[in-house]
Structure 1
Amino acid sequence: MRTEQTHFWFRARRSMVLELIRRFCPEPVETLADIGCGSGYSLTHLKARGKNLLGVDRLVCLSPHMKTLAPEARLIAGDVQELPLADNSVDMMTSLDVLEHVDDHKMLRELSRTLKPHAVLFITVPAIPWLWSNRDILAGHKRRYTKTALTQVLEQAGFSIKYINYHQFLLFPLVVVSRLFWKKKQCQAQEENPGKITNHVLLKISMVENWLAKRGIKFPWGSSLVVVAQKR
């Protein structure tokens, strides 16, 4: 969990998603669900965006630290492909780097089923299939996405795309080098646990990218994709 709190990649992704939520859902909703919530840490940053917070994950154990970090949230153990949520019951959803782990058609049908009509979904996934490496295998990924593939699977599930952009464009060269050498333990360690100064510098670069994206810049590539989709 400390990684989620301090690592530049998580912090930059969180900042980007929160900015998109403010843009596309400026008013707090009644029910907000984070699907594939993991430790539940993201919910601590979403508490101002929804009156009722839900976190769904197969590995949710309602451990004490999760209750402390997100005391307002209701954490539910469940499969993201068979959500334990009622039809048309959620006003807004986030699902950050989850879709690539499962049958994306099944999961998106479940998200569509449980979202209210015209509700908004915020999703991030790993991008660029040729970046596939041992890191993806160890992380349990089934695929990396192109813009076209992600758009297609979302539209098939009943969503319309409101926004799509690549993320981690400025640091993309470092990602490519990292993937080429990721079998080396030293490279793995540096990526997972960058030093304090390195982490700070990479965060600053990532936040500059977020600033550019906020001002309408569309990036031609990046190691991740972010999508804002609306249920039709």
Structure 2
Amino acid sequence: MAEITGDQRVQSEVLEGLATAVNHRRWFVELAVPHLGDNPIEIGSGLGDYALEWARHVPRFTATEADPDRLVQLKERLADEPTIEVQQMLLPHTGRGDHSAAVSYNVLEHIEDHVGALRSMRDLVRPGGKVIIIVPAFQFAMSPADIATGHVRRYTKKTLAAAMTEAGLAVETIHYANALGLIGYFMATKVFRLMPKEGPMVKVYDTLVLPATKAAEQRVRPPFGQSVFAVARVPG
């Protein structure tokens, strides 16, 4: 069983900092909503920011987390949410399920056996359901921040599609997202060697730059981006 790599304390600090990027989160929440179905499961819920947003759109939602300390925090935060179940989960695993979708944002890049992890997500979803993924894009942007948070790779559309196909999934949608974010991330983390934590830079980008980026990308898909977004169908 493969565990997520990296410094859990640093990962938690980054999660807490990025929780302030409200517009960014809402954009990525919206990307997944049409594909969630009635009973989705999230792999790697972190501190529960996405789970709380998605749960408003579905009758039932399952949030999961691998790290024991964050799992405790997640259970405490979601204790008063009657439609959300919280479980511990490591990937790959051998369990099966009947979920309408498995959604996993910024998790796959932490897992050495990413094809095995995708197969595990596939097995948690009923035939015809969806596996919804967001991962960081482009290996040239691999920075000290990536290493500190346990990233073992970054992706292109081609490499993510290949991994999903090898896992027995049928890719339906795949595109880059947040083109200006890639430039900002590269400059901040690779050139200036900063961590993507809460601060004025994140706030200014989220408030002023991101809404314009989102509006533009809803009209024209960019040839690059900070993230790769993909939706694949479980055959059968």
Please tell me the TM-score bracket, short chain as reference.
0.7 to 0.9
- Distance 1:193-1:144 versus aligned 2 partners, 3 A rule: same
- Aligned match of 2:232: 229
- Aligned match of 1:74: 85
Give the letter aligned to residue 77 of structure 2: H
- Aligned match of 1:101: 110
- Distance 1:172-1:117 versus aligned 2 partners, 3 A rule: same
**Partner SS for 1:192:** coil
1:21-56, CA deviations, whole angstroms, 9 ceiling, x for partnerless residues? 34445xxx3311111111222111011332221011
- Aligned match of 1:204: 208
In the alignment, the residues of structure 1 paired with residue 32 and residue 146 of structure 2 have an alpha-carbon distance, to the nearest angstrom, of: 28
- Aligned match of 2:187: 177
**Partner SS for 1:74:** strand
**1:73 Cα shift?**
0.8
- Aligned match of 1:137: 147
**Partner SS for 1:6:** coil
In the alignment, the residues of structure 1 paired with residue 162 and residue 60 of structure 2 have an alpha-carbon distance, to the nearest angstrom, of: 31
- Percent sequence identity is 21
Which runs of 5 or more residues in structure 2 are unaligned? 1-14
RMSD across aligned positions (CA): 2.2
**Partner SS for 2:151:** coil
In the alignment, the residues of structure 1 paired with residue 79 and residue 27 of structure 2 have an alpha-carbon distance, to the nearest angstrom, of: 25
In the alignment, the residues of structure 1 paired with residue 183 and residue 62 of structure 2 have an alpha-carbon distance, to the nearest angstrom, of: 37
**Partner SS for 2:60:** strand
TM-score (norm: length of structure 2) = 0.81
Which runs of 5 or more residues in structure 1 are unaligned? none
- Aligned match of 2:9: none
Q: Is the CA contact (8 Å cut-off) linking 2:130 and 2:232 kept in structure 1?
A: yes
- Aligned match of 1:194: 199
In the alignment, the residues of structure 2 paired with residue 75 and residue 34 of structure 1 have an alpha-carbon distance, to the nearest angstrom, of: 10
Pairwise mapping of residues 158-173 of structure 1 onto structure 2 (< 5 A)? 158-173=168-183
1:169-202, CA deviations, whole angstroms, 9 ceiling, x for partnerless residues? 023332222233344xxx43xx41222x861443
Give the letter aligned to residue 174 of structure 2: I
Match of 1:35 among 43, 59, 73: 43
**1:63 Cα shift?**
4.0
Give the letter aligned to residue 31 of structure 2: L
- Distance 1:80-1:219 versus aligned 2 partners, 3 A rule: same
**Partner SS for 2:45:** coil
How many positions carry a matched residue from both structures? 216
Tell whether 2:85 aligns with 1:110. no
- Distance 1:145-1:202 versus aligned 2 partners, 3 A rule: same
Q: Is the CA contact (8 Å cut-off) linking 1:90 and 1:115 kept in structure 2?
A: yes
